[in-house]
């Protein structure tokens, strides 16, 4: 791996608030069984990231690395990993514990990137290989980094929960990330979209 044994991470420490974000040196992680190390290429900001840093939560979780979404390249593979290899470009799942099926409480909150699990605002991350999705080759690193929270939330709401089909009408509230993804998905599926925005 390039870059030596230290990496940079944006760390929230002491108390909540943007002024408490500091650039820190940390050890580059090593993968355990079933894990991969990613070199992060891009990250995206969600309202959740601002809320987590600004409004806080459990101070016992500090220090923490924020940022729920990112795109990285696998640079090291732990023992037993079969589905990913060095050089794969991936997006870490926002909920590391939710790989399939419906949402279950223990697979959600306790396994969220950016709090309580250290998030994507670091040069390298070590996570379970099962908590990754391979990145579509036609999307840039920045585009891939926008998919996990906003993209999947919109898809799940419209398609999985909503059963969207051609000819349906979809109301999109505002112009945030989830709304813009919902607009695009709905239009691509032949739905009529109404947008409310100031």
Query: Do 17 and 96 belong together in one domain?
Result: yes
Query: Do 111 and 162 belong together in one domain?
Result: no
Query: Do 117 and 179 belong together in one domain?
Result: no
Query: Do 11 and 88 belong together in one domain?
Result: yes
At which of 120, 145, 170 does a domain end? Answer: 145
Is it the case that residue 1 has pLDDT exceeding 70?
Answer: no
Lowest-pLDDT choice from 10-14, 43-47, 98-102, 145-149: 98-102
Query: Do 171 and 118 belong together in one domain?
Result: no
pLDDT of residue 4: 62
pLDDT of residue 42: 97
In a domain, 141, yes or no: yes
* Across 166-184, average pLDDT: 94
Query: Do 17 and 110 belong together in one domain?
Result: yes
DSSP for the chain? --STTEEEEEEE-SSSSGGGEEEEEEEPP---TTEEEEEEEEEE--HHHHHHHHT---GGG-SB---SEEEEEEEEE-TT--S--TT-EEEE-SBTT--SSS--GGGSGGGBBTTTB--S-BSEEEEEGGGEEEPPTTS-HHHHHTIIIIIHHHHIIIIIIT---TT-EEEEESSSHHHHHHHHHHHHTT-EEEEE--
Is it the case that residue 2 has pLDDT exceeding 70?
Answer: no
Query: Do 29 and 68 belong together in one domain?
Result: yes
Q: How many domains does the chain have?
A: 2
Top pLDDT among 105 and 135 is at 135
Q: Any idea what the CATH number is for the domain that residue 40 is in?
A: 3.90.180.10
pLDDT of residue 107: 67
* Across 20-48, average pLDDT: 96
* Across 48-66, average pLDDT: 89
180, exposed or middle or buried, with CB in 10 Å at 0-12, 13-18, 19+? middle
pLDDT of residue 121: 98
Tens digit of each residue's pLDDT (9 = 90 or more) over 70-86: 999 999 999 999 999 99
Query: Do 11 and 109 belong together in one domain?
Result: yes
128: closest CA among 169, 161, 98? 98
In a domain, 1, yes or no: no
pLDDT of residue 98: 81
* Across 10-29, average pLDDT: 95
Query: Do 110 and 165 belong together in one domain?
Result: no
- Please give the residue range of the domain that contains residue 155: 148-198
pLDDT of residue 111: 86
Instruction: Give CA–CA dist 115/30, Å, rounded.
Output: 21
Instruction: Work out whether the CA dihedral 46, 48, 175, 171 comes out positive or negative.
Output: positive
Query: Do 126 and 115 belong together in one domain?
Result: yes
* Across 7-28, average pLDDT: 96
Query: Do 85 and 162 belong together in one domain?
Result: no
In a domain, 38, yes or no: yes
Query: Do 93 and 177 belong together in one domain?
Result: no
């Amino acid at each position: 791996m390039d870059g030596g044994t230290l990496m940079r991470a944006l760390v929230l420490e002491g108390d909540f608030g943007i002024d408490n974000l500091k650039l820190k040196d940390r050890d580059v992680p090593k993968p355990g069984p079933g894990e991969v190390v990613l070199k992060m290429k891009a990250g995206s900001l969600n309202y959740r990231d601002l809320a987590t840093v600004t409004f806080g939560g459990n101070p016992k979780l500090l220090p923490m690395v924020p940022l729920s979404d990112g795109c990285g390249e696998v640079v090291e593979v732990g023992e037993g990993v079969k589905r990913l290899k060095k050089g794969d470009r991936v997006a870490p799942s926002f909920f590391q514990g939710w790989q399939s099926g419906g949402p279950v409480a223990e697979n959600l909150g306790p396994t969220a990137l950016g709090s309580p699990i250290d998030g994507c605002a670091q040069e390298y991350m070590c996570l379970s290989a099962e908590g990754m999705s391979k990145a579509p080759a036609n999307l840039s690193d920045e585009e891939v980094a926008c998919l996990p929270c906003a993209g999947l939330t919109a898809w799940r709401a419209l398609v999985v929960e909503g059963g969207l089909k051609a000819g349906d009408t979809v109301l999109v509230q505002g112009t945030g990330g989830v709304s813009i993804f919902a607009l695009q998905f709905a239009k691509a599926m032949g739905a009529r979209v109404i947008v409310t925005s100031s």
